Chains A and B, each alone.
Chain A
């Protein structure tokens, strides 16, 4: 596979469930990102990892827990979510997270619905 892949593509979960989103990049990049995209709103940056180290947590509630075991894989663990967390969750990667690399490549996203 090439580019950035995400699984699952669609997820419906109850507020008491625990689930995980997975992202994998095949571009040899060192930085990975989680974004939330809601209707009529700009993309919201959630987390940034650079060389497996978390460098940004954009005031995200603790019910979202990221994990980055290596530079190619990124997870977002979800638990006790709220209906307002329903959105498209996008993973992206870039060469690094430094100032010279804003060209981010996105995966197809996971459409999450919390019931």
Chain B
């Protein structure tokens, strides 16, 4: 069964303290892995798409990487405005629809 698992569920960081979020996936054939950011009371905002193992994408303090089993979202020197829930998703091989993880809620304190 296609599945996406994110860890940790919640992460508290001091401003400037770098860390990584994990997204593990099980899918018959990977057609891409998608990262979204969701602020409280808002809809998810698209961040990155990764298609093949070894691929990396960067945006400001965020860098997403992909292996054959998981993806990492590295946050370098985070700022309070990076506080949000980060979601990852993969298309189901059978239904072709996005399967989302439950997200990692990141809080960055000054």
Contact = CB atoms under 8 A, between A and B. Distances in A.
Given A43-B87, A102-B31, A90 B97 contact: no
A42 B102 contact: yes
Contacts of A58: 97
A109 B98 contact: no
Q: How large is the interface on B (under 10, 10 to 19, 20 to 34, 35 or more residues)?
A: 20 to 34
Q: How large is the interface on A (under 10, 10 to 19, 20 to 34, 35 or more residues)?
A: 20 to 34
Max chain B C-beta neighbours (<10 A), residue from A58, A91, A104, A111: A104
Interface in B53-110: 87, 89, 91, 96-103
Given A4-B43, A45-B97, A108-B41, A103 B102 contact: no
B43 A102 contact: no
Contacts of B44: 43, 90, 106
Interface of B: 4, 31-32, 34, 36, 41-46, 49, 87, 89, 91, 96-103
Interface of A: 4, 6, 40-43, 45, 48, 56, 58, 90-92, 99, 102-109, 111
